[in-house]
Amino acid sequence: MDIRTLGAADLPACSDLAESRSWPREPRKWALLRSVGQVFGADAPDGRGLAACAAVVSFGTVASISMVLVAPRYERRGWGRAITAHAVSAAGDRVVWLHASTSGRPLYESMGFVLDGGCQGHVGTFVDDGGPGASPGSLSSVLPLDLLAHGVDRRPLLDRLGTPFVVDGGFAFGVDIGHVTVIGPVVASSEEQAKALIRGVARSVAGEVRMDPDFRFPSLTAWLRERGLVPGVHAPRLVLDGRALPGDPALRFAPFTRALG
Domain shared by 166 and 202, yes or no? yes
pLDDT of residue 259: 85
Structural domain includes residue 60: yes
Say whether both 57 and 130 belong to one domain. no
pTM of the model: 0.94
Tens-place pLDDT, residues 152-172: 999 999 999 999 999 999 999
Share of the chain above pLDDT 70, in %: 100
261 band by pLDDT with thresholds 50, 70 and 90: confident
Q: Answer yes or no: is 105 within a domain.
A: no
**In this structure, are 216 and 139 located in the same domain?**
yes
89: amino acid identity, one letter? S
Read off the pLDDT of residues 110-141 as tens digits, 9 standing for 90 and up.
Answer: 999 999 999 999 999 999 999 999 999 999 99
Check whether residue 72 and residue 165 sit in a common domain. Answer: no
pLDDT at 30: 96
CA distances (Å), 144 to each of 138, 173, 187, 188, in order? 12, 15, 11, 12
Domain with 188, as residue range(s), is: 121-232
**CATH for 212:** 3.40.630.90
d(CA 217, CA 175): 22
In a domain, 13, yes or no: yes
Nearest-angstrom CA–CA distance, 167 and 148 = 15
Q: Is the pLDDT reported for residue 260 higher than 90?
A: no
Residue-level pLDDT at 162: 96
Residue 13 and residue 85 share a domain: yes
Q: The domain spanning residue 28 has which CATH number?
A: 3.40.630.30
Looking at the predicted structure, is the pLDDT value of residue 1 above 90?
no
